[in-house]
Amino acid sequence: MSTKDERPVALVTGGGSGVGASCAQHLAKAGHRIALVGRTRTRLDETDRLIGTDSQLIIADLSRPEDCRRVVREVLEVQGRVDVLVNNAGFATQAGISETSEELMRTALDTNLLGPMCLISELWNHFTERGTGCVVNISSLASSDPFPGFLAYAASKSGLDSLGRSIIAERPVPGIRAFTINLAAVETDMLRSMFDHGVVPPEACLQPGEVADFVMECIRGAHDDRQGESIVLMRS
């Protein structure tokens, strides 16, 4: 006779590399079942291999609301529950204000803000019916201290900060928790696509594993008194 799997489920976006992949590994080690979302199958396969257990892999473009709805539907159909949502998928590119096109604005806003909003909206009834759920939004220090050339990125991450506060304001029970982490530079492929070592030296960067450690502290309740804040995490 099969038994129902009661392990908690974590839905991690941008799970193919960097912070998302590290969060997924940490969550799996802590006993969570993992649903990984990303745009590239080969990268998700690599994270799944590193995790060492079978994860649910979903190819999706989270800038598209219909993909967000599909992701939530597929995870609930396969896993039966979602306990943790890590909104990590992101888009960033450099462009001066006068060179920031409407397309770039829309891509940044849709990926960094609309996607997380849609995922939370789709999961809200599930969270409220169960009286529990933890959202961790991976935001950026750029929301309060933007680098020149990051108009669209900084604006979208500022909205993500506000999204965390809205969850706290509207949640019906304290069991629904939300954290927003404003990251300084993290040693990832995305960072190095924009900045070389001369501009952002490696020793000034957080490692993805350090970010994942802090995410796990939030999930475990170590920072419950900081819900609704924009928590800055940077190399000391």
Q: Per-residue pLDDT tens for 139-179? A: 998 888 888 888 999 999 999 999 999 999 999 999 999 99
pLDDT over threshold 60, residue 3: no
Number of residues in the chain = 236
Per residue in 24-48, pLDDT tens?
999 999 999 999 999 999 999 999 9
Average pLDDT value for residue range 13-24:
94
- Give the SS3 label for residue 132: coil
Domain at 9-233: CATH code: 3.40.50.720
Q: In the chain, pLDDT over 90 holds for what percent of residues?
A: 75
- What's the pLDDT score for residue 1? 36
The shares of helix, strand and coil residues in the chain, as percent rounded to the nearest 5, are 50, 20, 35
**Helix or strand or coil: residue 127?**
helix
Quick one: pLDDT at residue 51? 93
Active site residues: 153
Neighbours of 93 (CB within 10 A): 15
Both tokens of 56, joined, read 């649910």
User: What per-residue confidence (pLDDT) applies to 2?
Assistant: 41
* Between residues 195 and 89, the one the model is more confident about: 89
Confidence check: pLDDT of 124 > 60? yes
Residues 78-116: tens digit of each pLDDT: 999 999 999 999 887 888 899 999 999 999 999 999 999
As given in the structure block, the two tokens for residue 129 are 């019916």
The 10s digit of each residue's pLDDT in 197-235 is 766 666 766 798 999 999 999 999 999 999 999 999 888
- Separation between Cα atoms, residue 149 and residue 99, nearest integer Å: 9
- Residue-wise burial string across 6-34, b where 16 or more C-beta atoms lie within 10 A, e elsewhere: eebbbbbbbbbbbbbbbbbbbbbeeebbb
Q: How many Å from the N-terminal Cα to the C-terminal Cα in the chain?
A: 53
- Residue 41's CB is within 10 A of a number of other CB atoms, namely 12
Distances (CA, A) of 231 to 13, 139, 164, 218: 20, 9, 11, 11
Q: Is this model's pTM higher than 0.85 or not?
A: yes
Query: CA-based angle 197:92:215, to the nearest 5?
Result: 85
Which DSSP category does 54 fall into? Answer: -
Q: What is the pLDDT of residue 191?
A: 58
* Cβ-contact 132, 175 below 8 angstroms: yes
pLDDT surpassing 80 at residue 4 = no
